């Protein structure tokens, strides 16, 4: 692989390893910066030594790798907000106790059924100046209070920590927020908020104002809401108001990347701006003016799109392309890729743990590497056939490169992605060109009705195409079990196969065989490990009590009638089955007693009826039974008591006090998450 021959590739790889190492081990800042100083000192000594004795160059190379690793560690530490002395998490008793927060709204997020959501910057807690980001939830009411980016708010309330997943294999939203440097969540009602007349007018305020002006003017011109939300997602990267069913259609059709502003969109912006600037003279001053306008346009578009990781990646990449064109130098695509990764992670190392960032860079890398190889298989002379060949080869290269990671995160594969790309990419190009014109004119409220209606009609057509393709659900492979070992084995196989396809050598064939053997061993080990596992779980669910017993890959669910009818359609249960490579073997109604690995389990529901003389090792309380727990403890002598999330909080608090008095462990799934017995 030629890209690994570049020194910059190896330095970037070691730099990334330093970020990952620090992210998972979290060493103290003193240790990190001491390591950086020592690594820099060794590099300086090694450089001086190599100037005296050139045959010792390898020692200087090793010292550079050590320095790159230390820089990666330092970058991750510096950009971890929680280490800052004035961060709000450093205050004593900051969590779950009333405080007065002075905050500024920075970003609008997608609303939930009950709340408006914003990312907010903390300016002050009580009388203490602070910094940091939190997630603000404002309860919806009939008055429909409106807030804008830049509003300064004062809120009296309690800050809650980001919660860990409370069910097995559930999406870890707390870690997701932590990667975005959000370390707490604040809940309030609009009537309890004091809004200042002053507005923080920063770059985010002006970006939101531009977006809102465009949206308001298009609404005024009669642009339909459904198509407008798709246009805003497609052209401005804002998916807050788009219909979840539309997003689902795009996912099933393999076209969700269309809704996320990425290289496709930024490339169209670059082409559009370059076309507009054609009349500018191609001399030294004219070329510099073109470069400034292009860079300004790209980054302005990136800011309007919210500077998501995929947007930053794309804008950075095309900025280097524009600079290379200005300098009239041929830009090495791999160098551009590596420099953009290095620069982005130096400024924002948290992007490395963003799924969109990972997928976009993998897709781009495999397009640069694998697409030219695929193109050699068929070289038609007809322009239309060549265009179709390019769409198919680019789509296949990107899909192959991102497939293992997509399976790891999303556990599904859209089988009709070829047809989707053939159908919508030509139309997307036209929509992007037309959309940029419409958005610019709409901002100044000068957009002719025929242009906005043309864009609306195109979006209607593309939605219908996507919906039609997504309706063939038999081609959508769902619930594919896939763990990190399979992820590693899959990339070993893909990379070794492409290397062999690039140049057929015996050593590369051996690498393919080793990859296949690795995957086979992983499959056998996973089957052996799953077969020998047994566990009994009480899940954390507010609406229904449900318990599972897993013996190997066979899962039995114990629940009430309503949940038994839903079965694997229940997302919590489905995540558990996929994560454990298992299947639902039986569904039974919950009984008062259960037995597992020699443990006797007594289950009491809202009726409160149970065997009086039944001795139990574990007592499970569900549906808020009205019982005298102190008396039950004296009679049954349980070793542990479990209460699921269907119980009233007041009941759980009372039971917790009783267990504390009797010195019996108490497990509330609302607080600690699911209960497992294995």
568 with 633, same domain: the answer is yes
Tell which phi-psi region holds residue 637, choosing left (phi > 0), alpha (psi between -120 and 50) or beta. left
409 with 294, same domain: the answer is yes
DSSP letter at 72?
H
Mean pLDDT of the chain: 88
545 with 523, same domain: the answer is no
pLDDT reported for residue 319:
84
pLDDT (mean) for 568-595: 90
Assess whether pLDDT exceeds 60 at residue 1. Answer: no
How far is residue 534's CA from residue 676's CA, in Å, rounded to a whole number? 10
pLDDT (mean) for 305-333: 76
pLDDT (mean) for 289-302: 86
Asked if residue 83 belongs to a domain, the reply is no
Kind and range of the H or E element at 265? helix 263-276
Here the tokens at position 110 are 């997608």
293 with 436, same domain: the answer is yes
Q: Which residues pair with 535 in a beta bridge?
A: 550
The domain that holds 612 is classified in CATH as 3.60.15.10
Domain end (from 179, 200, 221): 200
183 with 229, same domain: the answer is no
358 with 224, same domain: the answer is yes
Asked if residue 161 belongs to a domain, the reply is yes
How far is residue 457's CA from residue 395's CA, in Å, rounded to a whole number? 26
Domain end (from 78, 106, 133): 78
340 with 414, same domain: the answer is yes
Here the tokens at position 600 are 């006797």
Asked if residue 450 belongs to a domain, the reply is yes
pLDDT reported for residue 54:
66
151 with 111, same domain: the answer is yes
Asked if residue 318 belongs to a domain, the reply is yes
Residue by residue, what is the 3-state secondary structure of 463-502? HHHHHHHHCCHHHEECCCCCCHHHHHHHHHHHHHHHHHHH
Q: Band the pLDDT of 657: cuts 50, 70, 90.
A: very high
Q: What is the pLDDT of residues 160-178, one digit of tens each?
A: 999 889 999 999 999 999 9
Assess whether pLDDT exceeds 80 at residue 362. Answer: yes
422 with 443, same domain: the answer is yes
Burial grade of 289 (CB within 10 A; 0-12, 13-18, 19 or more): middle
142 with 258, same domain: the answer is no
Number of independent structural domains in the chain: 5
Phi, psi of 668 (to 5 degrees): -100, 120
pLDDT reported for residue 128:
93
Q: What is the pLDDT of residues 46-63, one digit of tens each?
A: 888 887 776 667 778 888
Here the tokens at position 461 are 């057509």
Burial grade of 244 (CB within 10 A; 0-12, 13-18, 19 or more): exposed
Range of the domain at 420: 209-477
Domain end (from 39, 60, 78): 78
* Count of residues making up the chain: 678
10 with 70, same domain: the answer is yes
Distances in whole angstroms, Cα of residue 176 to Cα of each of 108, 247, 251: 17, 20, 20
272 with 405, same domain: the answer is yes
Q: Band the pLDDT of 560: cuts 50, 70, 90.
A: confident
């Amino acid at each position: 692989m030629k890209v690994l021959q570049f020194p910059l590739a190896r330095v970037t790889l070691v730099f990334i390893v330093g970020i990952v190492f620090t992210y998972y081990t979290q060493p103290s800042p003193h240790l990190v910066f001491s390591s950086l100083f020592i690594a820099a000192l060794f590099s300086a000594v090694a450089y001086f030594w190599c100037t005296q004795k050139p045959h010792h160059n390898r020692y200087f190379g090793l010292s550079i790798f050590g320095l790159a690793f230390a820089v990666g560690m330092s970058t991750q530490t510096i950009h971890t907000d929680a280490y800052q002395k004035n961060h709000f998490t450093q205050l004593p008793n900051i969590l779950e106790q009333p405080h007065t927060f002075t905050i500024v709204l920075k970003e609008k997020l997608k609303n939930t059924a009950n709340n408006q959501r914003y990312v907010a910057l903390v300016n002050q807690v009580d009388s203490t100046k602070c910094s940091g980001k939190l997630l603000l939830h404002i309860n919806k009411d009939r008055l429909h209070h409106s807030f804008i980016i830049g509003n300064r708010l004062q809120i009296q309330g309690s800050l809650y920590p980001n919660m860990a997943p409370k069910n097995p294999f559930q999406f870890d939203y707390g870690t997701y927020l932590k990667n975005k440097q959000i370390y707490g969540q604040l809940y309030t009602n609009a009537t309890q908020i004091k809004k200042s007349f002053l507005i923080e007018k920063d770059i985010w305020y002006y970006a939101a104002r531009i977006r809102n002006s465009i949206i308001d003017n298009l609404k005024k011109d009669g642009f339909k809401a459904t198509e407008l939300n798709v246009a805003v997602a497609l052209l401005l990267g804002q998916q807050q108001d788009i219909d979840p069913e539309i997003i689902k259609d795009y996912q099933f059709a393999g076209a969700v990347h269309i809704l996320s502003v990425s290289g496709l969109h930024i490339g169209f912006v670059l082409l559009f701006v370059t076309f507009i600037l054609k009349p500018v003279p191609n001399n030294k001053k004219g070329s510099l003016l073109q470069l400034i306008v292009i860079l300004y346009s790209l980054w302005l578009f990136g800011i309007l799109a919210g500077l998501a990781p995929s947007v930053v990646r794309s804008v950075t990449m095309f900025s280097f392309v524009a600079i290379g064109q200005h300098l009239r130098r041929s830009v090495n695509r791999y160098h551009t890729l590596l420099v953009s990764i290095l620069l982005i992670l130096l400024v924002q190392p948290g992007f490395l743990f963003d799924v969109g960032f990972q997928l976009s860079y993998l897709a781009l890398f495999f397009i640069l590497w694998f697409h030219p190889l695929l193109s050699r298989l068929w070289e038609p002379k007809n322009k239309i056939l060549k265009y179709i060949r390019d769409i198919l080869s680019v789509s296949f290269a990107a899909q192959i490169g991102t497939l293992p990671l997509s399976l790891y995160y999303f556990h599904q594969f859209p089988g009709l992605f070829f047809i989707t790309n053939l159908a919508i990419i030509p139309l997307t190009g036209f929509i992007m060109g037309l959309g940029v014109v419409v958005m610019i004119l709409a901002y100044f409220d000068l957009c002719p009705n025929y242009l906005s209606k043309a864009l609306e009609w195109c979006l209607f057509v593309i939605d219908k195409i996507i919906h039609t393709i997504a309706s063939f659900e038999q081609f959508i492979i769902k619930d594919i079990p896939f763990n990190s070992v399979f992820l590693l084995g899959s990339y070993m196989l893909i990379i070794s196969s492409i290397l062999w396809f690039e140049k057929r050598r015996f050593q590369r064939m051996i690498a393919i065989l080793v990859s296949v053997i690795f995957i086979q061993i992983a499959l056998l080990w996973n089957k052996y490990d799953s077969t020998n596992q047994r566990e009994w779980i009480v899940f954390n669910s507010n609406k229904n009590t449900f318990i599972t017993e897993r013996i190997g890959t066979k899962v039995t669910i114990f629940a009430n009638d309503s949940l038994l009818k839903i079965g694997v359609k229940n997302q919590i249960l489905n995540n558990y089955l996929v994560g454990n490579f298992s299947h639902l073997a039986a569904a039974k109604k919950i009984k008062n007693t259960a037995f597992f690995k020699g443990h006797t389990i007594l289950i009491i529901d809202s009726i409160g009826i149970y065997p009086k003389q039944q001795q139990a090792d574990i007592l499970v309380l569900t549906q808020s039974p009205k019982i005298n727990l102190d008396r039950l403890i004296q009679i049954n002598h349980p070793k542990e008591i479990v209460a699921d999330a269907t119980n009233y909080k007041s009941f759980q608090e009372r039971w917790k006090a009783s267990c504390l008095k009797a010195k019996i462990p108490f497990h509330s799934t609302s607080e600690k998450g699911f209960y497992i017995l294995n």
